Amino acid sequence: MRLIQKISFWFLIVSLMICLFNLLGYDDKNLLLGYTSPLILWLNPWLTRNTIENELIEQLLPYGLHLFSWIFAGILIDGLISLVKGRNNSDR
């Protein structure tokens, strides 16, 4: 299957757009970033309570979690699609 036809590719593009939107300052309260990634919402109390010594890691951690969760969801959906297509091809 071509890369453009994969759900994980499009999830990656959308996630990068959301991260860029947040990085440019349009999402100053991180609402879009948090509400589109359940992993960030789940870890939000830990992320805000603990201070990390390195500021770069503290700033990049939410973006990494966002990208990871969207890519993981896309790979999971792509796997389910290929599983269903494989079953349909074997039934013929």
pLDDT tens-digit map of 42-67 = 888 877 776 677 777 778 888 999 99
CA 14, CA 37: separation in Å to the nearest integer?
12
Does residue 4 register a pLDDT over 80?
yes
**12-32: per-residue pLDDT in tens?**
999 999 999 999 999 888 899
φ, ψ of residue 27 in degrees (nearest 5): -115, 70
- Three-state DSSP class for 27? coil
Report which of 72, 73, 65, 82 is spatially closest to residue 5, judged by C-alpha positions. Answer: 82
Q: What is the pLDDT of residue 32?
A: 93
